[in-house]
Chain A
Amino acid sequence: MRWLRPTRLRLLSQILFFLLFLFLLIRTEFRGTIATSGSDIRLPYPVGLFFQLDPLVSLSNALTGHGLYHGLLWSLVILIPTMFLGRFFCGWICPLGSIHHFFGSLRSERKRGKQLLESNRYKRWQTTKYYILIAVLVCALLGTGVVGWLDPFSFLVRSMGLSVLPTANYGLQAALHCLEQSRFGVVSTIGMGLHFVLGFVLLNFKQPYFHQGVWLGALFVLILAINLRVTRFWCRAICPLGALLGIASRWSVLGLVKNPEHCNDCNRCLLRCQGGDNPVGGVPWHQPECHLCLNCVDECPEQGLQFKFFPAQKVIGTNLQRRKVLTGLAAGTALVPLMRTAPGFAIERHERLLRPPGALDEEFFLSRCIRCGECMKVCPNNALQPALSEAGIEGLWTPVLVPRIGYCETSCVLCSEVCPTGAIWKITPREKGWSGDVGGPTTPVRLGTAFYDRGRCLPWAMATDCIVCEEWCPTSPKAIYLRPAEVIDLAGNAKQVKQPYLDPSHCVGCGACEHACPVQDRPAVYVTSVGESRSRTNQILLNRKKS
């Protein structure tokens, strides 16, 4: 029964969970159906499953919000067994871990023979992840969700969703186009067949575009490439979730038992070690580093290694140094106030910092948002983009609505549905309040307010009819109203045009006007964040009537 080896089971588990992750990520998209016309649009799959299983997301959410957001309780399914068994999650489930496992097992000039053995011995720098964990948790406690920069799921969803998958879609569409346009009937038929199949499993309905896609992709490739030098460097030295699970497994009851009588110092157990946890004889085992991949047990020619419950052998724990722990604490403590000395957060909010509908006030938003990109992936209009500097340094990769790319669809709330942490609090179309068919609350969610640039607006500046903005305005009554005006055109003739004005009491800041404006490069109507309903301070009018 050699094919039933535990390592094979582990590989199977890794593949299954990776495919599940990929499937859910690809399906984090509104695909639409013409089979039914239910007016309340939801996603058919629990696309945020992996975030809900992530104890690090839960812990940071608990630290910032003093509670656990909807669904995060599921993370106990991972955390509690980890306390008993160790980091099985890293070795058997984590999709990012599995990708690293794959790249780490590729042949590499830098990892041959003795180098490979040495690279898999425990190194002091593996404790770095614990200090990172301490720092990001302190940040969470002090009110910023930068944990998401390094949380493995945030990292993976952001990299795959905003960079790898859009790239794959672009490339595949181009290749399929070539095939389909072929002058040979067979080739174009194959192309169409492939298009059909790929359209079903992978391709996007519309090509998504994301700011910073190149850099997010480059960072991803870089992190994967490090595996060619040090296997699973990310998991061993950086991953704060791995660190958390390492600490949680401090008292686990499952452990590696080394039988010194069987050991002939062949070091084969080091060959495929994933965690760098010293399964070799003569030195103690580093329990919190082990991913339970079972490669060492598999590899040992003398059957000298075994995982057993309640082992009696001495093991080494997280191996932290007090001074560095304090450094981590200090770094986290200093980072938040340091980042906030820039004026963006407290004083001079960026005018284009348009947050998705349902987003909490900036202070709470920044603390809960884990920069994962789920909302950007799901937005049917591609409107949400990762911020670069609009929200300050700490707001890197938080979602920003860019109306020129896409406006906020009137009755769509998918971003609030997929947000794993409640940074975009779950709202219904009714609570959003932009559309009459669902009734509505007295005050709608507002993202900002539209303004006119009369120097560029056709009826104002060029004596030309237009009012496409008014046509698109989704509120009723419309937030854009028209006044007939007599203007003089180039030839000196008097001419009647309708000039648009904005009524702030009805404007919800959706950006449809800006999106539809025919002044293509810098539109004559644009939305800024002032008047956003989530903020008490970022307002214009003393009394803004209810819609």
Chain B
Amino acid sequence: MENKIDELSRRDALIRLLRVAGAGAGTAGLGVWLSKHSFRPEAAVASAARRGHTVPADLNYPQLAVLQGDDPVALVKEAIRDLGGIQRFISRGDVVLVKPNIGWDRTPEQAANTNPDVVAEVVRQCLGAGAKRVVVTDVSCNELRRCFQRSGIAEAAKQAGAEVILPDPSSFKEINLQGEVLHAWPVFEPFLNADKIINVPVAKHHALTGTTLGMKNWYGMLGGQRNQLHQKIHESLVDLADFVRPTLTIIDCYRILLRNGPTGGNLEDVLLKKTLLASTDPVAIDAYAAKAYWNIDVDALPYLKLAAKRGLGTYEFERLRTSVRQLP
């Protein structure tokens, strides 16, 4: 062992030099590599995810069923039977998404959300037809846990065997809706993964369009700043309906909210209609309900004509094969 203070052996000096040179070269190399990878951060590119959920038309069955009766469960059963039975719509192994309106922190009596009994029966029907999973969800406006709980829908759907999903901010996906006014929007993922989608809105008053029915219910699949959609409401509604193309639309008119919608709150605004509408035509059913309960003509709801032009259905509901029944 040498003990000289000021001299390093040539070998040691060389090793040390090599070590430093290696580190220096590495640093330089890394720097050069990184300098070639500098990109301006871009928002994630929205993916296209359009898929149809409709089933083929069948001339043997009516296109619109109107049922009246005391028991909401029976109304659902009979309406689906009239349209050809649940097997026509749901195949064994399907993943079904049932989309009620769970938008507001209200109880069932206030009719701001879909009737829980109606939702539960739709779930049971789907499971009875052999659906693999039935998901019930909505992106609420009010605090969503309160909405899911106080609407009674979460409990009823869960008991019927559905998977109730509370929207989590991390499960939205940026999707290009390929619409005329709607392009990249965050869509709640269960809506992208379903084989069949059943729309189960409740019929309510709305100040901007006069009424909110089936097509407006699709607001509930979006995240993001959806409070902008009102600015072009008719075009937005059609873009959304075009994106989803549901298997079936069931409008809950058991209780309808005549005034102060879509939030309501006052039982005096609620009318007990004990009716249920079901249709494979998302345009006609909206046109029918608007005329039947608010006496709003097609001309006052431009979105209906826009939707018809887009090939989503017909607004001439009078020309549909319709079955109207009163349950005993």
Residues on A close to B: CB < 8 A?
Answer: 30-39, 41, 177, 205-206, 380-381, 409-412, 434-437, 458, 464-468, 470-478, 482, 498, 516-518, 520
A380 touches B230 (CB 8 A): no
A410 CA / B169 CA spacing, docked (Å): 23
A411 CA / B105 CA spacing, docked (Å): 8
A514 CA / B153 CA spacing, docked (Å): 28
Near A by CB (< 8 A), chain B positions 252-275 give 259-260, 262-269
Residue of A nearest to B261 (CB): A471
A413 CB → nearest B CB, Å? 12
> Known: A435-B265, A437-B107, A474-B265. Is A32-B145 also a contact (CB below 8 A)?
yes
A34 touches B152 (CB 8 A): no
B110 touches A380 (CB 8 A): no
- Chain A residues positioned under 8 Å from B227 (CB to CB): 468, 516-518
B145: contacting residue among A30, A458, A471, A475, CB under 8 A = A30
A436 CA / B112 CA spacing, docked (Å): 12
- Chain B residues positioned under 8 Å from A471 (CB to CB): 206-208, 230, 262-263
B233 touches A465 (CB 8 A): yes
B149 touches A41 (CB 8 A): yes
B265: contacting residue among A32, A206, A475, CB under 8 A = A475
A476 touches B207 (CB 8 A): no
A77 CB → nearest B CB, Å? 34
Residue pairs across A and B with CB atoms within 8 Å: the count is 125
Residue of B nearest to A33 (CB): B149
- Chain B residues positioned under 8 Å from A381 (CB to CB): 143
A187 CB → nearest B CB, Å? 17
- Chain B residues positioned under 8 Å from A478 (CB to CB): 260, 263
B145 touches A205 (CB 8 A): yes
Binds A, one of B23-31, B60-68, B89-97, B154-162: B154-162
Q: Is B324 an interface residue (CB 8 A)?
A: no
A506 CB → nearest B CB, Å? 10
Residue of B nearest to A462 (CB): B231
- Chain A residues positioned under 8 Å from B206 (CB to CB): 471
B225 touches A498 (CB 8 A): no
A206 CB → nearest B CB, Å? 8
Nearest 9 Cβ contacts at the A-B interface: A32-B145, A476-B266, A34-B154, A436-B266, A37-B152, A37-B155, A476-B265, A518-B227, A476-B260
Q: Is B109 an interface residue (CB 8 A)?
A: yes
- Chain B residues positioned under 8 Å from A36 (CB to CB): 149, 155
Q: Is B74 an interface residue (CB 8 A)?
A: no
- Chain B residues positioned under 8 Å from A520 (CB to CB): 225
A60 CA / B18 CA spacing, docked (Å): 74
A411 CB → nearest B CB, Å? 6
Near A by CB (< 8 A), chain B positions 110-131 give 110, 116
A35 touches B158 (CB 8 A): yes
B151 touches A37 (CB 8 A): yes
- Chain A residues positioned under 8 Å from B259 (CB to CB): 476-477
A517 CA / B228 CA spacing, docked (Å): 9
A409 touches B146 (CB 8 A): yes
> Known: A34-B158, A468-B230, A518-B227. Is A476-B146 also a contact (CB below 8 A)?
no
B181 CB → nearest A CB, Å? 12
A458 touches B231 (CB 8 A): yes
- Chain A residues positioned under 8 Å from B146 (CB to CB): 30, 32, 41, 380, 409, 411-412
- Chain B residues positioned under 8 Å from A466 (CB to CB): 230-231
Residue of B nearest to A176 (CB): B170
> Known: A35-B155, A465-B231, A516-B227. Is A498-B207 also a contact (CB below 8 A)?
yes
A174 CB → nearest B CB, Å? 11
A39 touches B150 (CB 8 A): yes
Residue of B nearest to A482 (CB): B207
Q: Is B106 an interface residue (CB 8 A)?
A: yes
B295 CB → nearest A CB, Å? 18
Q: Is B308 an interface residue (CB 8 A)?
A: no
A472: contacting residue among B263, B264, B269, CB under 8 A = B263
Chosen A-B contacts, 10 in total, with CB atoms closer than 8 Å, are A34-B154, A36-B155, A37-B153, A37-B154, A205-B145, A380-B143, A437-B265, A468-B227, A473-B263, A518-B225
Near A by CB (< 8 A), chain B positions 151-198 give 151-156, 158, 164, 166, 169-170
A436 CA / B228 CA spacing, docked (Å): 29
B267: contacting residue among A177, A436, A475, CB under 8 A = A436
A34 touches B262 (CB 8 A): no
A518 touches B158 (CB 8 A): no
